[in-house]
Amino acid sequence: MSNQTTTTLEETPVLIVGGSIVGLSLALFLARQGIRCLLIERHSGTSIHARAGSFNPRSMEIFRQAGLESAIFQAETPLNELGEMGLRAASLVGPVVDASERIINQQYQQPDPFVSPTRRALIGQDKLEPIVLAHARGAGCDIRFSNELVSFEQDAAEVTARVKERETGREYQVRASYLVAADGNRSMVRQQLGIDSYGYGELGNWISILFQADLSPLLPGRKITLGFINNPTVEGIIGQSAEDRWGLLAHLKPGEPTPLSEARCLELVRAAIGRSDWPVRLVGTLYWELAARVAEHYQAGRIFLTGDAAHVMTTMGAFGANTGIADAHNLAWKLAMVLKGQVAPSLLATYGAERQPAADLAVGVSSWLYAYRLPQHEQHEEIMRSASQLIKRVRLLPDAPQPTGFSVVSGYLYRSNAIIPEDETITPLFENAPSGSPGTRAPHIWLSSNGETLSTLDLFGREFVLLTPSSDSWAAAVTNASNKLNVPLAIHGIGAHQPYADAELQFQSSYGLTSSGAVLMRPDGFIAWRAHSLPPDPIQALEHVFRNMVR
């Protein structure tokens, strides 16, 4: 293999480093905003390991917006192949320690029609990544596997990166307006930028072992989708992806040399099964570090951190990849509008301001669940304390409620220059139920229009949107703001005699509006501003909002 060097120079508006689910999602979201980027990934293709195995309703709302919902549901694990979730036991055939969290198949995928138009998808990252990849390439993204970032530098105008083709050794330069690091837990970009992190830190080294085994004689009439295993030989998580296909995530003993031998891998698998003589065939292994940390900064000049490069959390709660997808969704529309000259570059500073507290919440709750479900960890109490400190960062007030599952998935609340708050009262940076307040995700309401049923969340994506029960009262203000400030802005009337009918009459109460009020929605579906009722001068009011928010 030759080590060729070339001075070839390529240009792209955005260079994405890392082609796992977060990087691929960002590429797709940018393309849907009209920005065709370049993505490089050092590996030869998408992951063969499931890694993340559940994508929550908020992620599915985002993919629904991008047109992927149907394809994802078609590829997910069928209901009749789902089994028990959350079982804690010494081994699959050993004594059960705790079954209080056990959920059986259909219960796991039931949607909540009052909260979201969609539901979680039980699909492995190995199945999801090819779907996102195909749609991103179809939208015009340039995605290159086996291409590795060698170095980068930036100045006030651009980022210049040196990239190597791993198969040929050829090197070339890429000039980009912005670089986004989606290169994982050990992010080379984050390390070279010298960005530190906070949180508990390393929780241990783990191995993912894919294996084939027919366990039906040992588990007659049972299927195990997710179980927590604890015994003297192995501590970890086990799950069944197909009839004879299984995965074991095992916590390695401190100081255990890697890579593990085949005999040691088989020992771990059989200990998790509970039978030392059971026939098992190894399929593949993947080593990774489990940690709980959040980057101190998400931006350094023209470079941004996303996904595991910005935050790392335990597998508990399945928050990791989902939090990264939300990062990509938040950043994509801001980059696109800046690159198009529609808003000032200062808007990009709101990315870290909004997403870092969301990571504090997710990492904190995930760490707490880890300590609870795997209590024999020698640093159990320290992990609990660290989790509480992270959650305290978003609770803000001693008497604030504790976050719930909804808080982490859909209830995180943004405070930044891209949000116009109603007052300066200190409140938690999350909510436990949809409120319609500025900084929160828009409440889901079912609407109908021209015989079609859709959600309020289906009205967002590429532009700002004003929702109101009185479109005539606000039409002139929307036209003025859009034309005067060159900001893409649409208006949708909801209610009686409006284009979108609200059959259940929930819109005004859910969004906290009178019959003349309005809410300004961002492209990511978060509420930027709310007017409970029509202001004396709506044209001046809306123009003032935009000038304060995006200029």
Chain segment 482-498, per-residue pLDDT in tens: 999 999 999 999 998 89
Together in a domain, 189 and 141? yes
Tens of pLDDT along 91-147? 999 888 776 555 554 444 555 667 899 999 988 899 999 999 999 999 999 999 999
Cα separation, 144 vs 43, in Å, equals 10
Does residue 428 form part of some domain? no
pLDDT mean over 47-69:
90
Is the pLDDT higher at 367 or at 317?
Answer: 367
Q: Give ∠ CA 266-270-271 in degrees, rounded to 5.
A: 115
Indicate whether 514 pLDDT > 60.
Answer: yes
> For residue 232, what pLDDT is reported?
92
> For residue 165, what pLDDT is reported?
96
pLDDT mean over 351-376:
90
Cα separation, 387 vs 154, in Å, equals 35
Q: How many domains does the chain have?
A: 4
Does residue 335 form part of some domain? yes
Together in a domain, 326 and 207? no
Cα separation, 160 vs 154, in Å, equals 6
Candidates 533, 510, 539; CA nearest to 422 is: 533
Tokens for 212, please give them. Answer: 């084939």
**What SS3 state is found at 404?**
coil
Indicate whether 51 pLDDT > 80.
Answer: no
Q: How many CB atoms lie within 10 A of CB 158?
A: 14
> For residue 97, what pLDDT is reported?
76
Fill in the DSSP letter of residue 549. H
Together in a domain, 477 and 466? yes
> For residue 103, what pLDDT is reported?
55
Does residue 276 form part of some domain? yes
Together in a domain, 13 and 123? yes
Indicate whether 395 pLDDT > 90.
Answer: yes
Does residue 491 form part of some domain? yes
Is the pLDDT higher at 269 or at 109?
Answer: 269
How much is the pTM? 0.90
Instruction: pLDDT band for 2, please (50, 70, 90 cuts).
Output: very low
Together in a domain, 398 and 455? no
- Match 């949000």 to its residue by tokens: 419
| Phi, psi angles (nearest 5°) of residue 5 | -120, 135
Cα separation, 512 vs 436, in Å, equals 6
Together in a domain, 402 and 454? no
Q: Structural domain of residue 168, as residue ranges?
A: 5-79+117-198+293-345
Q: What is the CATH number of the domain that holds 130?
A: 3.50.50.60
Does residue 94 form part of some domain? no
Cα separation, 2 vs 164, in Å, equals 12
Is the pLDDT higher at 21 or at 317?
Answer: 21
> For residue 99, what pLDDT is reported?
63
Candidates 246, 325, 545; CA nearest to 420 is: 545
Indicate whether 9 pLDDT > 80.
Answer: yes
Is the pLDDT higher at 52 or at 100?
Answer: 52
> For residue 105, what pLDDT is reported?
44
pLDDT mean over 526-542:
97
Together in a domain, 50 and 152? yes
The amino acid at residue 361 is L
**What SS3 state is found at 460?**
coil
Q: What is the CATH number of the domain that holds 527?
A: 3.40.30.120
Cα separation, 454 vs 445, in Å, equals 8
Together in a domain, 481 and 532? yes
Together in a domain, 192 and 244? no
Tokens for 548, please give them. Answer: 């304060």
Cα separation, 354 vs 488, in Å, equals 22
Give the pairing of strands 171-181 and 303-305: parallel
Q: What is the CATH number of the domain that holds 275?
A: 3.30.9.10
Residues 111-115: contacts with CB under 8 Å, at least 24 apart: 111/57, 112/57, 113/446, 114/444, 115/57, 115/406, 115/410, 115/434, 115/444
Together in a domain, 341 and 371? no
Does residue 416 form part of some domain? no
Together in a domain, 58 and 162? yes
Beta bridge mates, 240: 246
Together in a domain, 170 and 217? no
Does residue 103 form part of some domain? no
pLDDT mean over 330-341:
97
pLDDT mean over 284-297:
92
pLDDT mean over 47-56:
82
Instruction: pLDDT band for 380, please (50, 70, 90 cuts).
Output: confident
Does residue 160 form part of some domain? yes
Radius of gyration of the chain (CA): 24
Cα separation, 470 vs 492, in Å, equals 9
> For residue 47, what pLDDT is reported?
86
Q: How many CB atoms lie within 10 A of CB 224?
A: 17
Instruction: pLDDT band for 187, please (50, 70, 90 cuts).
Output: very high
> For residue 343, what pLDDT is reported?
94
Highest mean pLDDT among 281-290, 328-337, 415-424: 328-337
- Distance in Å from the first CA to the final CA of the chain: 51
Cα separation, 515 vs 513, in Å, equals 7
Indicate whether 374 pLDDT > 80.
Answer: no
